[in-house]
Homo-oligomer: A and B are copies of this chain.
Amino acid sequence: MATWYNRGMQSSTSADIRTIRLGFLGFGTVGEGTYRMLVDNADEVFAKTSAKFEVVRVGVRDLTKVRGVAAEFITDDLRSVVLDPSIDVVLELMGGEEPAGEMVQLALEQGKHVVTANKELIAKHGSRLIGKAKSRGLDLHFEAAVGGGIPVVQPLKHQLAGNDVIKMMGILNGTTNFILSKMEAEGADFGEVLAEAQRLGYAEADPSADVDGFDTMYKISILAAICFGKQIPLEDVHREGIRSVSAADMKYAKQFGYKIKLLGICEEIGEGEVMVRVHPTFVPLGHQLANVNGVYNAVWLHGDFVGDLMFSGRGAGADPTASAVVGDLIDVARNMVAGGSGSAIPYGVGMRVTSIKELESRYYVRFEVEDQPGTLGDIATSFSRYQVGLAQMEMVTKVGGKGEIAFMTHVCQEGNFRLALEAVASLGCVSRLEGWFRVEE
C-alpha cells in the first residue's frame, strides 16, 4: 500500500493521526496530478488535516497504459473500487456521464465521501447526487469541476452565500479562450487556429465539447445552481460555440473597442427564474474579463452586497485541477476528523430558465452588401421597424461592387433583433448576413 505522511512533522502524536483511505476512479492527467500533489505536498496536507492518506485502489478503463502509480493498485474493475469496504473517499476523476454517474451513486450508497472533477455529471445529476450525499451525511465536493484551480464553487457555497447574485459571467473553457486569444493576436481564422491548437495538444481531436460550448454550459450551469439552489435544466440553456467567430469579426470588435470571448452568463430574472446562456460575446476592453487571455479562466460576478468580484487563474491542466481536488479532499478529511459534513447546500430541481428571446442586449452584426447608394438607408429603415436602434457603423468597400457593413445596436430585445435580421437579410441590397454577436456593457 502506498502511504505517505509525517515527513518532518513532529507535532502530532500517532494517536491524533487519522488514516483516510482513498480509491481513485480514473488515473489520467487529473488523477496522476492529484496523486503527485498528495505525495509532493504531503507535509502541507498533513499539517492542515492531521490525517494520513493511503491509496488503496485505482480503477482505470485501460489496464495497458503505463501509469505513475504501482501496478498492484490498478484494476479495471471500477465496481471493486467503490465496493471496497476499506475505502473512505472515492476520487472520481474519469469524467463523462457514465460509468462515472453509476459509480458515484454506488460510492455514496456504500457510505463513502466523494470528490469529483466531473462537470458533466454534476451539471446533469447534481441534484440527485447531492441529495443522496446529504441524506447520508456524506461529503460530495466538486470544486475542480469549474475553473480548474480557481476557488469558485466553494466560495459561492460559503463566503458569498448570503448574497443575491444578480449576474455572473465566466470564461470557463481554456481551449476556446486560447483559440480566441490567438485569433485576435494573429488575425487568423478559427479553422487555422483550431488545427494548430490540436497539433499543440491544447484542443482534442474531437473538439466539440470545447468549441461548441458544452463544457462552458456545464460549468456555468453548476455555478448558477449553487447560487440559486436549484439544478439548471440544460435543455433550456442557450448554447453557441465559437465556430462562427471569424477574423473579420475580431477586426470589427477591436475597432468598436471590444474583445470576443466565449462567456457563460447567468442572470437572475425573478424569484426562482434565471437566464443561462453560452455564446461568443463582445466584451468591452475596459472590463476585467477582456484581459483574461490564453488558457486562463475567470469568473466575474455582481452580488447585491459584495458588489463586483472577479476570480482568475489557470482553469485546466493536471496541476491546477489537482489543487482543487486536494483542497476538497482536505475538507473531507477535516470533516472526518472533526465530525460534520460540507455538502449541506440546497441543490433542488424545478428551476425556471427564461428563453434567450427575452434577452435585452446590444448586438453586433455584419453584412455583405451591394456597394450602392441607398443601402444604408434601407437597412436602417428595416431595423427601425423592429425597434432596433443603430449606435455605431463601419463600412468598407470590397472588390466586385460589394461592400461590408458592421453595426453595433442600442439595447433591444433579442426576439425583435432576430426578426429585424431576417428582414434586413432579405433586402435586395444585402447579399449575405455574415455574422452577429451579443455585446456586454
* Residues in A lying within 8 Å of B, measured CB to CB: 8, 11, 33, 37-38, 40-41, 44-45, 47-48, 137, 143, 149-151, 154-155, 157-164, 229, 271, 288, 291, 303-314, 317, 319-320, 322-324, 326-331, 334-335, 337-341, 344-346, 348
Cβ-defined partner of A44 (8 Å) among B37, B155, B164: B164
Least CB distance, A143 to chain B, in whole angstroms: 5
The residue of chain B having its C-beta at the shortest distance from the C-beta of A272 within the complex is B8
Q: Which chain B residue lies CB-closest to A341?
A: B338
Chain B residues with Cβ under 8 A from A313's Cβ?
306-310
Known: A334-B344, A337-B344. A162 touches B306 (CB 8 A): no
- Contact present for A319 and B338 (CB under 8 Å): no
Q: Which residues of B contact A306 (CB under 8 A)?
A: 149-150, 313-314, 319-320, 323-324
A41-B344 in contact given A151-B159, A312-B288, A323-B163 (Cβ < 8 Å):
no
**Integer count of this chain's copies in the complex:** 2
Are the C-beta atoms of B159 and A154 separated by less than 8 Å? yes
A158 touches B327 (CB 8 A): yes
A304 to B36 CA separation, bound complex (whole angstroms): 12
Q: Which of A161, A320, A335, A339 has the most CB of B within 10 A?
A: A161
- The CA-CA distance from A159 to B158 in the complex, in Å, is 12
User: Which residue from chain B places its CB closest to the CB of A226 in the assembled complex?
Assistant: B48
Docked CA distance A338–B340 (Å): 6
Given known pairs A149-B309, A313-B308, A340-B340, the reply for A47 and B229 (CB within 8 Å) is yes
Q: Are A37 and B314 in contact (CB under 8 A)?
A: no
In Å, the complex CA distance between A320 and B306 comes to 4
A162, B308: Cβ atoms closer than 8 Å: no
Minimum distance in angstroms from A350 CB to a CB of chain B: 11
A229–chain B nearest beta-carbon distance, Å: 5
Q: Which residues of B contact A331 (CB under 8 A)?
A: 158
Provide the residues of chain B in CB contact with A322, threshold 8 Å.
162, 305
CB distance from A230 to the nearest CB of B (A): 10
Per the bound structure, the CA–CA distance linking A154 and B159 in Å amounts to 8
- Nearest chain B residue, comparing its CB with the CB of A343: B338
Selected A-B contacts with CB under 8 Å, 24 pairs: A37-B305, A44-B162, A44-B164, A48-B161, A137-B338, A149-B305, A149-B306, A151-B151, A158-B327, A158-B330, A161-B327, A162-B323, A162-B330, A288-B312, A307-B320, A309-B311, A309-B312, A310-B312, A311-B311, A334-B344, A337-B344, A338-B340, A340-B340, A340-B341
Could you tell me if B320 and A305 are in contact, using CB atoms closer than 8 angstroms?
yes
List 7 tightest A-B contacts by C-beta distance, closest first: A340-B340, A162-B326, A151-B159, A159-B327, A149-B306, A309-B313, A306-B323
Task: Choose one: B164, B314, B317, B338; the contact of A308 (CB below 8 Å).
Answer: B314
Q: Which among A11, A311, A331 has the highest number of chain B CB atoms within 10 Å?
A: A311
| A48: contacting residue among B45, B319, B341, B346, CB under 8 A | B346
